């Protein structure tokens, strides 16, 4: 992927696009296959990827050749309430199902709670 981050100017221009909305740009839901224009106009990182509300494997399968994914580590359950082994297991799982062939910035979805 040639550009893994958007400059503030690029982000502003994408947000002005009539097909863009804040939810799709900031990643609260994956880009809809019926809205490929978001990828065409420069969206190349989906942030955050929230495993509690999104299927990281499905998103990787649909958009892995077009987008880089940021997040995938659950901050609602695993990080605040899981054991160290639960966290290690989730990290390994995300690397296997989303990290193959690159395109993953492994991180908590937002910040931990609890």
pLDDT of 54-99, one tens digit each?
899 998 998 899 889 989 999 888 998 999 999 999 999 999 999 9
The residues, ordered by sequence, that sit 6+ positions from 53 with a Cβ below 8 Å of its Cβ are 29
106 vs 30, higher pLDDT: 106
Which of 73, 75, 71 is closest to 114 using CA atoms? 75
Per-residue pLDDT band at 5 (split at 50, 70, 90): very low
What integer pLDDT is reported at residue 12 of this predicted model? 53
Which of 1, 4, 43 is closest to 25 using CA atoms? 43
């Amino acid at each position: 992927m040639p550009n893994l981050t958007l400059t503030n100017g690029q982000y502003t221009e994408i947000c002005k696009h009539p097909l863009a909305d804040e939810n799709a740009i900031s990643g609260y839901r994956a880009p809809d296959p019926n809205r490929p224009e978001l990828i065409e106009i420069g969206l190349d990182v989906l942030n955050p990827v929230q495993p509690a509300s999104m299927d990281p494997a499905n998103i990787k399968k649909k958009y892995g050749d077009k987008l880089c994914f940021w997040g995938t580590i659950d901050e609602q359950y695993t990080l605040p309430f899981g054991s160290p082994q639960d966290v290690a297991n989730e990290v390994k799982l995300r690397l296997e199902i989303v990290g193959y062939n690159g395109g993953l910035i492994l991180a908590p979805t937002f910040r931990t709670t609890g």
